[in-house]
Amino acid sequence: MGTIIRNRTIRPSSRLESSKNYKIDTKVVGAIDTLRVNIDHESDSFLKSYWFHGKDVAYRNSISFRVTDYGPRIDISWSGAQPYKEEQNTRQKQSVDKLLVDLDAINRKMKVPTEGIVYSLDPVVDDKSKILILGTMPGEESLRQQAYYAHPRNLFWKLIEAVIGESLPGDYEEKKSFLLHHGIALWDVCHSCERQGSLDTDISDELPNDIANFIVNYPNVTTIGLNGKKAAQLFGKYIGSIQGIKLFALPSSSPANASIPWEEKRDSWLRLKQYL
């Protein structure tokens, strides 16, 4: 019996009216578990938590909620299951004082978003994932497209082709399916941070994703690749190590990391191949 935590951010700036449904993955929730869904907003102080009995969601792949924004009030309506409890949270800024930061602590530490605060994307993962690649925070182009590694000069997808030994499809959704087919998951160390532009060096006031709980929920993940120096630095700051998980610090795939030759980057990333 445990509490499974899911975190979603309402992002009206990147969604059409016809796509205001947000899906919550429930595949790993057991009948005796409790599901907690924390929902915040990219540009509003809205922050609520919803609790579900495991028996109500255990045999579903997902549930979903729809957002209705009335300006001063935001309504959440659920489909697939109904919460047995909801709670309005208060955002406030505190210092992070422990290595393994759970999502409850993150929610208490979050402050009202202002210009310059950015949020990570949802993870790309399924129950067969073996390797988790963690970036720091998606760049401006990735956030605009709501797609990992969307900048045309980012070498991530080329490096993945080298690791897997196959050519990637061109469509982003097909790329995600390709990664999952080969056991690779994607996420970022940061849940949110202040940043102007796309450079990792400009990141400040960061709050981490709940990576330790992610590993609990996806036990087939045995290896974490940290994409870039900043990702490795922040992982060390907030998580440190996870028992049974192999860690690899990788040269950044970012176009800002042009001083390292392609061959050196490729050879370093190829260390992941044996864990697929």
Q: What number of H helices and E strands is found in the chain?
A: 8, 14
What lies within 8 Å, CB to CB, of 18 at 6+ separation is none
Which residues on neighbouring strands pair with residue 24, listed in sequence order?
A: 63
Given a contact cutoff of 8 angstroms between Cβ atoms, the answer to whether 53 and 34 are in contact is yes
Determine whether 7 is an active site residue.
Answer: no
Query: In Å, how far from its chain's centre is CA 107?
Result: 15
Amino acid at 57: V
Per-residue tokens: 17: 């009216």
The catalytically annotated residue of 7, 107, 154, 227 is 154
Given a contact cutoff of 8 angstroms between Cβ atoms, the answer to whether 60 and 38 are in contact is no
Residues that are catalytic = 154
